[in-house]
Structure 1
Amino acid sequence: MTDGSGSTGIVREIGVNTWVWTSPLTTQHLGDLADRARRFGFGLLELPVENPDDWDPATAAEVLAGSGMGARIVGAMGPGRDLIDPLYRADTQDYLRHCVDVALAVGSPTVAGPFTAATGRVWRMDAGERGRVVETLLEALRPVADYAAERSVTLAVEPLNRYETSIINTVDQALEALDPLLDRGIGLALDSYHLNIEERPPAAAIRAAGDHCKVVQVCGNDRGPVGGDHTDWDAFFDALDDIAYAGPLTVESFTADNDTIAVAASIWRPLAPSQDELARASAEFLTDHQRRRASGADGDSGKGGDSVADGAFGTDGDSADWAAKRTAKEQQ
């Protein structure tokens, strides 16, 4: 989208989820991670609430204020958190209310997450069962949405890919299922990783979400650094511009060095030379890419990223050899 002056795009603040480095986040981690994120060029931290007592919201607010950082809150729908299963529903509602309270304490206008069932819980449903599940979801979400809306916080529900949930995989499914609660304490959180798997194309899904899109998370198509991957980032940003999304872009990836989130997200290998490098390269790409768009500068900044991320990681002999063999194979 251009304005006639050659410039294109909104320059958005960038943030990073602490899952890039650690899980679970604790109070002791806050100072180091805030300083590290600021050093790499991020303006806010995305703080996961895995367990209510892992970190202290008042301390977090103080640390972030001292570092000049903002905050966004995300929930974690691990085992035992489920709005569909009656065994866990009440506890999950209490957990989400706690997340809203944490958001208030640190100044986050949103709480994002896949607020349906436990991540990784998948099963086949016919149309009748799906309809009943959606009714159950709405019934369970409504009082929590009211609680959030009364406090000017939005629960941003995230569609997940088919391997992580059976309930809401696409933006269209989310819009249909959540329609009675949208703008009544409920919005959408869009993650480039899940969009890449489920949407044809992701940009159309972003436009369909429109002003219901309250949170945007980004990473490479492999959960690695933003940029240098096969994502069409120009199309992605064009769509965000078209819906006038001016909120932050937060990098969500994970370290393979833990026993919980890494398993839930299927992180079986390092996604960058180091977690610091994953964060640094992502910040550099997002900053450079947005500045190029805003200035109308030409350059290879679209599909596959640009030279910032490519230069950060380079190519070695093994990678070049593999690429040559793949090209030869495809031409046979």
Structure 2
Amino acid sequence: MKPCLTLSLVPSLRGGPWVLWDDLANGIRKTSELGFSAIELFTEGPSAGEPGELKTLLEENDLELGAVGTGAGKVIRGLTLTDSNQATRTDARKFISEMIEFGAEHGAPAIIGSMQGSSNETANREECLHWLGEALEELGEKSRNAGTFLIYEPLNRYETNLFNRFGDACEFLDGLQTKGVSLLADLFHMNIEEENIAQSLRDGAKYVGHVHFADSNRRPVGCGHTPIEPIARALAEIGYEGCVSAEAFDWPDPDTAARQTIDSYRKYFS
């Protein structure tokens, strides 16, 4: 497994669940110096820094790009894959497609979290799941053809009413033709929704493609009450080799949160 730190390059979202902020070069250097293997980026769109800068920084610091988030498509542009307006859905797919291309340039997958949307009075659940399935089919194949994969994230009930539990999302993916989509096991969301996080990971082992490493209160692991040891054991048992990425609040400050994360990773996974 690979310890991974998050970096947001979207100043307007300050206060969100990312450990490092704003400075691409310094963030990558700090991530490497602390002993992380990868960095996960949250950007406004399909770029980071000047042309070629990201590639150079990753190479100089012996760091992988673990994943790219697409959430700015919703929070800044108002786009979701299940909007009742077809033009908005088309724009959402286009934005995610561009993010897939951006990530794939560095061997990284794109994450669909908030851009999945929710059913509401203008679009019922059946319609939304149809649109979501169509989008995952298209974008999953695009990811696979680009040499990577797409990550779909079940969210807790307060953020979507589509898929909250890992097992339900697994069943949905079973019904798709594409083999280019995996799931994000976000420990914060799973702590709210799962009866037994470790067992859910075992049951859905074939779809575990990325892990968000955060405690029950979305602070760095070790600052809440989620039982990490059985989760770490389950990930080892299923042979998971991907990123364990700290999508957590920068509490009490970014440097302390980053150190707390790598210490917790080493405690449970080394």
- Can you list the C-alpha shifts for 1:56-81, whole angstroms capped at 9, x where unaligned? 56321111111111112232332422
- Tell me the alpha carbon deviations over residues 196-248 of structure 1, each in whole angstroms, 9 at most, x when there is no partner: 01110111211122121111110121111112421111110121122211112
- Corresponding residue number in structure 2 for 1:82: 80
Paired residue secondary structure (1:215): strand
Q: Secondary structure at the match of 2:111?
A: strand
Whether 1:149 aligns to 2:147 is no
Partner of 1:305: none
Structure 2: gaps (5+ residues): none
Q: What corresponds to 2:8 in structure 1?
A: 19
Quickly say closer, same or farther: Cα 1:56–1:169, change in 2 above 3 A: farther
Identity %: 25
Partner of 2:260: 281
Report how many residues are paired.
258
Q: Which amino acid letter does the alignment assign opposite residue 210 of structure 1?
A: A
1:240-268 CA-to-partner distances (Å, cap 9, x unmatched) read: 1222111121111245xxxxxxxxxxxxx
Residue 102 of structure 1 deviates from its aligned partner by 1.0
CA distance in structure 2 between the aligned counterparts of 1:123 and 1:195, rounded to whole angstroms: 23
Aligned to 2:103: 103
Which residue identity does 1:114 align to in structure 2? Answer: G
Secondary structure, aligned partner of 1:18: strand
Judge conservation of contact 2:70–2:111 (CA < 8 Å) in 1: no
Q: In the alignment, which of 199, 205, 213 is matched to residue 210 of structure 1?
A: 205
The whole-number CA distance in structure 2 between the counterparts of 1:253 and 1:169 is: 19
Contact kept, 8 Å, 1:57 with 1:102, in 2: the verdict is no
Q: Supply the AA of the counterpart residue of 1:16.
A: L
TM-score, reference length from structure 2: 0.86
* Residues 80-122 of structure 1 deviation map (CA, whole Å, 9 limit, x = unaligned): 22111124111111111111111121222x222316534xx56
Q: Is the 2:152–2:184 contact (alpha carbons within 8 Å) kept by the matching residues of 1?
A: yes
Please, what TM-score do these two structures have when normalized by structure 1? 0.71
Larger deviation: 140-149 or 54-63?
Answer: 54-63
- Structure number with bigger Rg: 1
Structure 1 range deviating more: 59-68 or 43-52: 43-52
Cα contact 1:75–1:112 (8 A) shared by 2: yes
Change (3 A) 1:122 1:87: same
Pick from 230, 241, 244: which aligns with 1:249? 244
